[in-house]
A = this chain, B = another copy of it.
Amino acid sequence: MTVEAFDTVDVIAAKRDGQALSKEQIDWVIDAYTRGVVAEEQMAALAMAIFINDMEPVEIANWTQAMIASGERMDFSSLTRPTSDKHSTGGVGDKITLPLAPLVAVFDVAVPQLSGRGLGHTGGTLDKLESIPGWQAGLSNAAIVDQLEDIGAVICAAGTGLASADKKLYALRDTTSTVDCIPLIASSIMSKKIAEGTSGLVLDVKVGSGAFMKDLRKARTLAQTMVDLGQAAGVNTSALLTDMSTPLGLTVGNALEVRESVEVLAGGGPADVVDLTVALAEEMLRLAGKTDVDVRAALSDGRAMDVWKRMIRAQNGDPEAPLPVAEHTEVVTATESGVLTKLDALSVGVASWRLGAGRARKEDPVQDVAGIELHAKPGDSVTAGQPLMTLHTATPERFSRAIASLDDAVEIGGDAASVPESIVFEKIT
């Protein structure tokens, strides 16, 4: 029988009463939770106390370290090139990882993108890539290292062994209204990224209706908290605060977003996707010590596309195979003429989800073909009757609920739209 270092009720009571938890208390409570000694209802009470009473920076750092210690760590030190990674807090139409990883790899910086599947209205990177015929998400740790050395980029499923406590806590927070809490969000993201063993990390913190953080001030606090955690753990970390008031690019949905990513890799694609891909690539390369590089050239001259094709083939995917296409489409048209002043990211994300692109529960399947093509973006002039978007699905009975979620998504006005000048609002280093 193990003699426990602390009593769970005392640790909960300390945070309940607004005290800072010691490193010893945090190490113990995370480890005991992993071992099942701290019960789910006890962690729920503690998470609520953390939510309401907050944590000091040193507590968040200790909490993150304890989460890292709860699982295995990866090690890329055998690689001949530096590693740099990106994490997005999640948005609608956010396919940036797909062109970004091969683009950065062009410049001899290895990109280990250990990714997840989507839940709710934001899509998952693995779900998108799985629409490519043959592509496999699962790789062993040894295969990840080999592919990073050989090709320079890998996008694959994160092993379940990283930050084990996070996996339990993440599921618990979802059912106990303790999700939207900066110490718990920051430690959850950063424990996985630090355990992953990257030497550089750029955080793409989304702001706006389609993002987790709806306002800039809170997004800035989250970004700064995560940058501090990364730096304290020896990971060269910075963050970009970027716009998520409207979907990224002109496609939302799995195969649709792969198609658009390939357009970007072919030197084309929507300006916002290209701009954000380039901004994140430049930042990832800067963190790896490469500052004087022409990133855009690698998109236009085909070097990024070459890495993409090798990366997809390495995981059994066929980059030349045609992507699946939906059997059923429905067009939404403009009801009046004027300037498109709003195209709400959350509404479009929910509509795409309802068409079948996302899942409501972890075990649900997703449709490769479902999603939405946008034919206009905020700032564009439209005329009444013109197509605004095309909805795609394999199951046409889904159209009505998807269209219902678009009720307040679109605004057409006489004035020019207040479109942000740049997709990147701020950089935090």
> Which A residues lie at the B interface, using CB under 8 A?
8-10, 12-13, 16, 39-49, 51-53, 172, 175-178
Contacts and interface: CB of A to CB of B under 8 A. Distances in A.
A176 B12 contact: yes
Contact of A44 (B13, B44, B51, B52): B44
Given A9-B177, A42-B44, A44-B176, 19 more contacts: A8-B175, A9-B175, A12-B48, A12-B177, A16-B48, A16-B51, A16-B52, A40-B40, A41-B41, A41-B175, A42-B176, A45-B47, A45-B48, A45-B176, A45-B178, A46-B48, A48-B48, A48-B49, A52-B53
Closest A-B pairs by Cβ, 9 of them: A41-B44, A12-B177, A45-B176, A48-B48, A13-B177, A44-B44, A45-B48, A40-B41, A44-B45
Query: Could you say which of A10, A40, A52 has the most chain B C-beta atoms within 10 Å of its C-beta?
Result: A52
A41 B42 CA distance: 7
Main SS of the interface on chain A? helix
Contacts of A42: 44, 175-176
A175 B39 contact: yes
Contacts of A176: 9, 12, 41-42, 44-45
Contacts of A52: 16, 48-49, 52-53
14 contacts: A9-B175, A9-B176, A9-B177, A12-B48, A16-B48, A16-B177, A16-B178, A40-B40, A42-B176, A44-B44, A44-B45, A45-B47, A46-B48, A48-B49
Nearest to A178: B45
A177 B18 CA distance: 13
Query: Could you say which of A10, A47, A177 has the most chain B C-beta atoms within 10 Å of its C-beta?
Result: A177
A46 B44 CA distance: 9
Stoichiometry, copies per complex: 2
A16 B50 CA distance: 11
Contacts of A16: 48, 51-52, 177-178
A47 to B, nearest CB: 7
Contacts of A13: 177
Contact of A43 (B41, B43, B53, B172): B41
Nearest to A51: B16
Contacts of A8: 175
Contacts of A40: 40-41
A51 B46 CA distance: 12
Contacts of A39: 175
Query: Could you say which of A16, A39, A42, A48 has the most chain B C-beta atoms within 10 Å of its C-beta?
Result: A48
Contacts of A49: 48, 52
A190 B391 CA distance: 57
Nearest to A174: B9
A338 B16 CA distance: 43
Contacts of A12: 48, 176-177
A178 B12 CA distance: 9
Contacts of A47: 45
A39 B39 CA distance: 13
Query: Could you say which of A10, A13, A45 has the most chain B C-beta atoms within 10 Å of its C-beta?
Result: A45
A176 B10 CA distance: 9
A83 to B, nearest CB: 37
